[in-house]
Amino acid sequence: MSDSIHFELVSPERLLMDIAAASVVVPGSEGDFTVLPGHAPVMSTIRPGVVEVMETGGGEPSRLFVRGGFAEVTSEGLVILAEEVIVLADVSREELQQKVADAGEDVEDARTDEEKRLAIEALARLTELAEAKS
């Protein structure tokens, strides 16, 4: 048995990761699960949350916020097709707090039902991201 799994993370825009990983924690819709070498085949939907990737060389895990998608574990490895991916190291806590505050104001300032719906969705996305960063 190998000491790593082949891991690919794909967003609608591009292939974000294509590496050998020691383990990957996936925010499945039924709860988080960790994929290790030799994992049984499985397919799962993904809820908004953090994917934590431990590369085979050790060190600190990479933490990426995903907003939904699918994960498939096969004998070849793990593939995550994510709706949206944000590298948590690229976003500051202060910046997120300001964006959440601004989005809250946008909800209050919305004039039509459609504007309000879109503002609420944006606020929910930013709140999920801020919680993941904490």
Structural domain boundaries in the chain: 5-88, 92-133
Query: In the prediction, which pLDDT does 36 show?
Result: 94
Instruction: Say if pTM beats, i.e. exceeds, 0.85.
Output: no
pLDDT digits 0-9 by tens, 106-128: 888 989 999 888 888 888 878 88
Per-residue three-class SS string for the chain: CCCCEEEEEECCCCEEEEEEEEEEEEEECCEEEEECCCCCCEEEEECCEEEEEEECCCCCCEEEEECCEEEEEECCEEEEEECCEEEHHHCCHHHHHHHHHHHHHHHHHCCCHHHHHHHHHHHHHHHHHHHHHC
Query: In the prediction, which pLDDT does 16 show?
Result: 93
pLDDT band at 94, cuts 50/70/90? confident
pLDDT digits 0-9 by tens, 34-53: 999 999 999 999 998 889 99
Class of domain 5-88 as given by CATH: mainly beta
